[in-house]
Structure 1
Amino acid sequence: MHATVYTVSDVMTRTVVALAAGATFKEIVRTMEERHISALPVIDTGNRVVGVVSEADLLRKEEFRDSAPERGPRARPPAGLDKARAVTAADLMTSPAVTVHPGAALGQAARVMALRKVKRLPVVDDDGVLRGIVSRSDLLRVFLRPDAAIVDEVRRDVLAGRLPDGIESIDVDVSDGVVTLTGRVRDTSVVPLAVRLVRSVEGVVDVRSELTGPPHRPALEPDLAQEENARRFAPQPRS
């Protein structure tokens, strides 16, 4: 058995509002306002994503509204001035767009968002065609997975499937996504591995391990041990 792996295609929004390259400034603002969206992908005639327009791109116009243009042959225009003068999506957009594949793992999409400091990603296929959009809230949806489903996967696919020889008796309890492991294992060196595997299950918020090793036979006191050895090796009476 294999653990369930959720991908971007499992959580993405498939109906996407996108812009044509020729969309005007006011059309973009109106669309964002009506749809409550902070960024929109820009597509070409083949539905391939060529860029993204965000609220930050649009705000360049306000930023430079009262700024006097630089003059002189050697004057360098300030960063963002081109977007402040732009009136269409093609001139406003950030290109190339930061995108993600439908088959990407949720963790991969989350890392891309964090590294590129974006709140949503256009989802494109191998040809760059727009297939959906994934947002931060979409990635968090996996944590709404029922506790019972997590228990079943941890027991069946993770512990029994990956550590069949290392687990003797183990109980799994899940409450609000927090997994608690209790019981005994033959070898305590497998505990960190078990915790790591359980933590990788989609929807797990945290893992608490209360696993212990096998019970040990209590050592006898020295005098009792001597008495037991004396009885064990004492000559047996002949019948």
Structure 2
Amino acid sequence: MITALRFSFGTLTALPVRVTRWDRTAARGGMLAAPLVGLVVGLLAAGLGALILVLDGSALLAAVATVAVPAALTRGLHLDGLADTADGLGSGKPAEDALRIMKQSDIGPFGVLTLLFALLAQIAALSQLYATGWAHGAVAATVAAVVARTAMTLACRHGVPAARPDGLGAAVAGVLGLRTAWAAAAVTVLACAAAGLHAALAAVAALVCAELLLRRCRARFGGVTGDVFGALSELAATAALVVLALG
């Protein structure tokens, strides 16, 4: 368990956690524990947002701070993955060329626009939720963070190959059995249901959106990469927040 948590927090956050093992066994436990990482990140983000409201900050400012916490705790890697995946999908090039585009350090127009709209959607949704009460925004931030990491767990199931022979995607691709991965998703949905039916529906909608993107990436790139995992996470978080705000 300690090895799994080290792997999970050490690879999915910028927290000072040293990864002691980098093998399939550690990856299996680490990616199964990914929703717990989301819980910690979500609670930290929700805590900062609520604190700003307590200090008479606006709902918009609280929303910006809440979105900034996951970005800071991941050094922006998930957002970068979203942008790179958008560039790869939008390039219209064969898989090998698209993967090369994704690996480049710069961000193209597809990536910039996707990143901009995703962040705006997250901030707008959280601002609306915080405006109705700090608890609404705090719960939404936590649910979104947990579901975002659960989308990564689902993407590690058997039958989802790595698009490259190296990197995080290759290290975690296919490490979880189908039943284990889907059971983790079910547990996440049930846990979100503790916050209400609407939260459970938001979790389901977010995981469905992530699954659609995963299937598109498998068809387009031949599998998953570290960038794809980041994109799945950000899409799931955005979808969850939007659904919660629409309610």
| Larger strand percent | 1
TM-score higher than 0.5: no
| Larger helix percent | 2
TM-score by length of 2: 0.21
TM-score by length of 1: 0.22
Larger radius of gyration: 1
